Structure 1
């Protein structure tokens, strides 16, 4: 399939199949109100979505219709290195760089021949979503990237209701949602995949439809299929994470201000007169696997743990880890870290994390630490997405022959919960007074 793309200076003939690849025919052609695309990593869903919107904006703009696009993520400040970069990639991939204004100092992208715009917003600023205007044409399309992070259906509905009004013949309103399906409890499943709504196109995509992956890339998925079947279900087959056998059922995702939590706990005491609120910062080391650090506070009177800060990175040198955490205020904080690597702990201490110490661990410490955390309500701030993904999928092992649940957690999705468990090592179990 070939499409002509008009530019300011000439008309280029581009093969979309060669540039974009195959596997998304229904997605590319659909004019339904909603398109929900869940998929594995490497399934081209973001690449294809960005390419489709750039192509459609130019196609309709050059024909005298002027659709505009709104791109939404959970947090506004995450656009630059994700959706904006992806859309710029699509512009260049389609050979249209000269036709787009791509300013360095702002996020808005503008199609020069017509003045159509791509606008970027975050759900962290609801007011910015209620008064969106475009300089030319109509706001027709919305792209929710990483839609799984939109935890409130009511917030989605507010945006949905704002994309209304009469359009010129030939244009259509459409909301596209792309995401990894971390948990089958999310409202996205019920709303778009279980309802049978005729105005919804619901798709599941996998890495198999990405012909641009190398053989080495594909081999990683096959390895995951054997070693980490729970993760492969989501990141390989694009299926919903299943809640069965989860270790932690006692958590919620919720906005909170940690400074207000600290302020409200001032003077609050336990039964023995000790401060109720205590810091519980924990770290799990990795390199090819992620290094996970979490800033948390525990209320030892009301049995609540507030997880408010997340550092979750692969292939990070110790000096960079230390620099990041010091910059973010943890240079003097007590940090309980995985004690399997005392040399790393010592190096991080010399690099400026003066309060880092090894977790005690020992026989039965994993099961005991899990039981302890199960006594608390764990409240996770939305700014900690890797913890949310982990708690949605961290499960007990099953015997492969009998299917019997074992009293041992799977390694997969363990890095974030392990870091939290180390940080909370000194908390008491329910019913033990402190």
Structure 2
């Protein structure tokens, strides 16, 4: 390069940054500096004439998460690396999110893979100059294996610059020892795979207060510390909803039949995420969760800070094309006075819904244990005449945060019959309110000669088991 750029890196990532393996996977604790390192590494490489013709695709499962996470991280890296020359060396755009190095012409774009539409758009990603060489999957455990296969297929073809190479980068906290990433990249040996482990102790830029906080967590939450302090794979046991199966409980979206009853449920949050869910009830009393609205602040268990009216307007927008919503249930605590004058959270939300002639919320039933039991019953379902499990609830695959958070909830350490409330339990709470509004008892298998509910749906062309 014409100018010498001096950048500080954590030594722990030296070999990670140098490897040219097709897959490099960085698992580590919170505060280990892995995301900062990866962003900085890409910025330096994309500015180097040696890598002319290289382009980077940065992916989060939810596209909206990029703005406050990966986009902000890469922008901060550009400012660290380039200082006062940042605006001269890089063109940074917000709509769409992208960055172009003015020196080399290399480009960074940001995308999501929440649904089939976004997956299809990624398949057609092209660049005016050069090729897509590098892909970074931040919070990689959010992705399905099929998502990664689609991305992997994009890295192909002859590279005219001999210095270029194809590479996928994964970064994540290893929350689940049963995750497919562990089996595919960490449990095997391959010359194409480079795995890396780091903790907050390896980060020489970390402040002392954060270090002390993590050391305290070691004492107060040893299981959580294993993942977020030591960067080790999460405990495989202790899951609360042990019968959850993606094969059985998740389906591709379909058009909800006209005659099915629809309702919605909500758990409020601002500093923590809020969760809204929409449900359809078929003629066999099976519940289909067909939409979610989640106050995801860019990181797990972090809210958006939106007020009640802003969230209510999002509910109104989401229901623009819906048929009638029969009723809604909202956490009963939202009717409690907050100590300030003016309407409560529930009143504020209902005022907006009434203003736009939408169905308002009523108070939910109290009792998380009852809600947990209802969800267990519906996940368990019953045995059909063919001996296969028929669930009482199915989630559309677009209910991403439900699918991400509910299966990994664990038992409370002091009261094992309860869900651990320190986890990301907002989708569960909202689902619990919904299910307690419609108590359910699993049916017995249909007598010989009659078809069970699943058989009728299958024969009617509703292949809700297809993935």
TM-score by length of 1: 0.79
2:164 alignment partner, SS class: coil
2:244 maps to 250
- Match status 1:98 vs 2:88: yes
Bigger mean CA deviation after superposition, 363-372 or 201-210: 363-372
- How far has the Cα of 1:190 moved from its partner? 0.9
Residue 301 of structure 1 corresponds to 284
Query: Does structure 1 residue 411 correspond to structure 2 residue 421?
Result: yes
Q: 1:160–1:13: structure 2 CA closer, same or farther, 3 Å change rule?
A: closer
Match of 1:160? 152
Is the CA contact (8 Å cut-off) linking 2:277 and 2:291 kept in structure 1?
A: yes
Residue-pair matches, total: 401
1:355 matched to which residue of 2? Answer: 360
Greater CA drift, 50-59 or 134-143: 134-143
- Secondary structure of the corresponding residue to residue 333 of structure 2: coil
**Is the Cα–Cα contact under 8 Å of residues 39 and 204 in structure 1 kept in the other structure?**
yes
Measured against aligned partners, the alpha-carbon deviations of 1:253-302 in whole angstroms (never above 9, x if no partner) come to 74633xx3413xx34xxxxxxxxx44353223345443333333344626
Aligned with residue 329 of structure 2, among 323, 329, 336: 336
Query: Deviation per CA, 1:358-392, whole angstroms, max 9, x where unpaired?
Result: 22225952454344343454444454443233223
For 1:429, which of 441, 444, 450 is the aligned residue?
Answer: 441
CA change 1:385–1:65 in 2 (3 A) is same
Instruction: Supply the distance in 2 between the matched residues of 1:352 and 1:240 (Cα, whole angstroms).
Output: 44
- Please report how far the alpha carbon of residue 43 of structure 1 lies from its aligned counterpart in structure 2 after TM superposition: 2.9
Equivalence map 1:173-322=2 (5 Å): 173-222=166-215, 224-248=217-241, 249-252=243-246, 254=250, 256-257=252-253, 260-263=254-257, 266-267=258-259, 277-299=260-282, 301=284, 303-312=286-295, 314=303, 315-322=305-312
CA RMSD of aligned residues (A): 3.3
The whole-number CA distance in structure 2 between the counterparts of 1:130 and 1:346 is 45
Give deviations 1:134-183, integer Å, cap 9, x for gaps.
33334322222232232133x42343233233433333221111223333
For 2:285 and 2:190, the matched residues in 1 are separated by 43
Residue 273 of structure 1: aligned partner: none
Q: CA deviation at 1:421?
A: 0.5
More strand by share: 1
| Runs of 5+ consecutive residues of structure 1 not aligned to the other structure | 268-276, 400-404
Alignment of 1:13-52 (within 5 A): 13-14=5-6, 16-17=7-8, 20-52=9-41
Deviation track 1:234-265 (CA, whole Å, cap 9, x = no partner) reads: 333333333423222324274633xx3413xx
Aligned to 1:374: 379
Aligned to 1:274: none
Correspondence for 1:270: none
| Aligned mates of 2:396, 2:27 — CA distance in 1 | 23
For 1:205 and 1:255, the matched residues in 2 are separated by 36
Q: Is the 8 A contact 1:72 1:122 kept in 2?
A: yes
The whole-number CA distance in structure 1 between the counterparts of 2:76 and 2:435 is 43
Contact 1:294 1:310 in 2 (8 A): yes
Provide the secondary structure at the position in 1 that maps to 2:416: strand
Kept in 2: contact 1:391–1:417 (CA 8 A): yes
Moved more, 142-151 or 64-73: 64-73
Change (3 A) 1:211 1:369: farther
- Cα distance in 1 between the residues matched to 2:283 and 2:216: 42
- Unaligned runs of at least 5 residues, structure 2: 297-302, 337-344, 382-390, 446-467
Counterpart Cα distance in 2 of 1:366 and 1:348:
23
Q: What is the DSSP-based 3-state SS (H/G/I as helix, E as strand, rest coil) of the residue aligned with 1:23?
A: helix
2:431 corresponding residue in structure 1: 420
Aligned CA distance change for structure 1 residues 231 and 351 (closer, same or farther; 3 Å): farther
Q: Structure 1 residues 208 and 104 mapped into 2: Cα distance closer, same or farther (>3 Å)?
A: same
> For structure 1, which segment, 326-335 or 352-361, has the greater mean C-alpha deviation from structure 2 after superposition?
326-335
Aligned position for 2:54:
67
SS in 2 for 1:142: strand
